[in-house]
Amino acid sequence: MIALPVSLGFAAKKNAPLKVGDKGWKVKTVQTKLNTLGLKTPLTGKYSRDLEKQVRIFQKTHKLPVTGKVDDKTYFRINEAAFEKEGIHGVKGKDVVRTASKYKGVPYSFGGTTPRAFDCSGFVQYVFKKHKADLPRTADLQYEKGLFVTMRQLKPGDLVFFTTYEPGASHVGIYAGNGLFWSATSSKGVRLCSLSEPYWRSRYYGAKRVLVSGDRSYR
C-alpha cells in the first residue's frame, strides 16, 4: 500500500453557518445545487430571504434541524443530494480504470482528445465517454462536477486534480486505487502515476467523485 500525502483543504473544522446577508462562491454553490434539486432560487451569490425559505424546505424534507441557515451538515447534505441526482449512474469505477489502462503509452498533445494523442482532460473525457458518461472538456470544468472527497475516501474511478501550468484545477487524472492514478502526462504520455511522487504530491489540488455507486461510502 502506497502512503498517501496529507490532503490540505479538508481540515475537520466547523465553519460558520451561511445566513441571510452572506455573499460568495459558497452561497452560489448552495443556490446552484438547490436549483438542481428543483428548489428554484436566483444564482446571485447572495444569501437572500428567498434562499433562506428554500433552505428551510430542504432541511424539513431531509429531516435536518430547520434553521434556514446552512451549517456544515446542511451544506454537505445539499451537495450529496444534488450529486445523487446529477451524478453518473450504472458505471463501475473498476471498469473505468480498466478502460483507462488500455491507453497506456498514448502520446501527449495539448488539445488532444483521441487515442492518437491526449491531453489530461481529453483523456479523462474520452475514457468516461467509452462508458456513455459525459464530462466537460477541460480540467477546471470537470472539477465543478461531482462530490468532493478526501484522499482517505478515494475510490477507483474518482477524479484527482492538480495545479500545474496555471492556478486552480489545471491537470486531472483517474484514480486507480492504492495511491495510483492514470494520467496523460506531457513528458511520458498516458501512464500510471503515484500520488506519492514529489511532483504530484506538491501540486495536489483535490478530488471529486462523479460515479454514483449507491453504497454511500462517500459519507
Q: From CA 41, how far away is CA 59, in angstroms rounded?
A: 15
Looking at the domain assignment, is residue 189 inside a domain?
A: yes
Residue type present at position 67: T
Is 96 in the same domain as 201?
yes
Is 129 in the same domain as 171?
yes
Written as tens digits, the pLDDT of the chain (219 aa) is: 333 333 333 334 578 999 999 999 899 999 999 999 999 999 999 999 999 999 999 999 999 999 999 999 999 999 999 998 989 999 999 999 999 999 999 999 999 999 999 999 999 999 999 999 999 999 999 998 999 999 999 999 999 999 999 999 999 999 999 999 999 999 999 999 999 999 999 999 999 999 997 444 444
Looking at the domain assignment, is residue 101 inside a domain?
A: yes
Task: Report the phi/psi class of residue 81: left, alpha or beta, with left for phi > 0 and alpha for psi in -120 to 50.
Answer: alpha
Is 149 in the same domain as 174?
yes
The C-alpha torsion from 49 through 25 and 137 to 167, rounded to 10°, is 170
Which pLDDT value is given to residue 88? Answer: 94
The C-alpha torsion from 180 through 183 and 189 to 191, rounded to 10°, is 20
- Domain end marker among 58, 84, 110: 84
In this structure, what C-alpha cell is assigned to residue 116? Answer: 492518437
Is 148 in the same domain as 61?
no
Is 48 in the same domain as 98?
no
- Domain end marker among 43, 65, 84: 84
Which pLDDT value is given to residue 144? Answer: 87
In this structure, what C-alpha cell is assigned to residue 68? Answer: 434556514
Which pLDDT value is given to residue 14? Answer: 74
Contacts within 8 Å (CB) and 24+ apart, 181-187 = 182/97, 182/100, 182/101, 182/104, 182/123, 182/127, 183/120, 183/123, 184/106, 184/108, 184/112, 184/118, 184/119, 184/120, 184/122, 184/123, 185/108, 185/120, 186/108, 186/110, 187/108
Alpha helices (H) along 7-164: 25-36, 49-61, 72-86, 93-101, 120-129, 139-142
Element (H, E) at 208: strand 204-209
In this structure, what C-alpha cell is assigned to residue 49? Answer: 430571504
Write the CA distances from 42 to 21, 75, 78, 107, integer angstroms.
15, 18, 16, 44
Is 203 in the same domain as 96?
yes
Domain region containing 35: 20-84
Residue type present at position 61: T
Three-class secondary structure of residue 161 per DSSP? strand
